[in-house]
Amino acid sequence: MRAVSVKVNGHVRRREIKDNELLLDFLRDKVEVRSVKAACWRGECGLCTVMLDGALVKSCLVLAVEADGKEVRTVEGITVGGELTAIQRAFVEHGAAQCGFCTPAWVLATYDLLKKNPHPTEADLTEAVGGLVCRCGTYNQIREAVAEVAESTSKPRHRAAESLAQA
C-alpha cells in the first residue's frame, strides 16, 4: 500500500492504494465518484473517461498511482456554482440520453471539444468522440446538442460554411 493524493473536482483526496489499482477503481470505490462508469474495462467503450490534468483519458487504462499529485475532473466538476453548462442543458433539451449510463462520458467529451473548438465540423466531432460508445444509439441527439451549443456562440465567418450547425 502507498498513500496518494489526487485533486478530484477541486478537493484533495488522500487515500491508501495498491500499486496495481486502476484510476477507474480509485475514483469509483475510494473517492465514490460514480459518474465514472466501468463497462468494458479495456479502453474500448470510453465510459470511464475523465480529465487528467486537463486532458481526456480512459481511466481503465491509467494506474491510480500515476495520478498521484495530479488533478482529475469528472462531469461533477464542470458545473459552475451548481449551474449546468450549456452542453449539459442542450443534452437535456435534445434528449441526448436514453438509459443515461454513458451520458457523463459524452458530456465530458463534448464539453472538452467545444471548449477547444467552439465550432466543430461534423468531422471534428466524429474524430473527438471516436473512442466513445452509446449502446442506446443517441448519436443523432448528441450531434444536435453539440450543434445547438456551437450555433449559440458567435462564429468566425470563414468557418461558417463547414460548421456542424449547418450540416
Partner 1 sequence: MSFGSPYLTLPDFAYHRPATLEEAIALLREHGDEAKLMGGGVGLIAFMKERLMSPTHVIDMKGVAELKVVEEVPGRGMRIGAAATLEELLEEGKLKKGYAVLHEALSKVADPMIRRRATLVGNLCEAIPWVDSPPALIALDASVEILGTDGKRSAQVSKFIRGPVDIDLSPTEIVTAVEIPEARGRESAFEKFTAGSEFSVASVAVALLNEGRRRSARVVYGAVNPTPARCLEVEEEIKDGLTPASVRKAADAAYEKVECMDDVLASSPYRKHLVKVITTKVLRRMMGR
Which chain residues interact with partner 1 by CB under 8 A?
18-22, 25, 28-29, 38, 40-43, 46, 49, 55-58, 60-63, 65-66, 127-128, 130-132
CB closer to partner 1 out of 94 and 113: 113
C-alpha separations of 108 from 46, 102, 161 in Å: 11, 10, 27
For residue 141, the cross-strand partners are: none
Minimum distance from residue 65 beta carbon to partner 1 (Å):
5
Minimum distance from residue 70 beta carbon to partner 1 (Å):
12
Do the beta carbons of residue 55 and residue 40 sit within 8 Å? no
CB closer to partner 1 out of 16 and 93: 16
CB closer to partner 1 out of 38 and 84: 38
Classify residue 144 as left (phi > 0), alpha (psi -120 to 50) or beta. alpha
Cell 435534445, residue?
A: 94
Minimum distance from residue 117 beta carbon to partner 1 (Å):
12
Do the beta carbons of residue 105 and residue 132 sit within 8 Å? yes
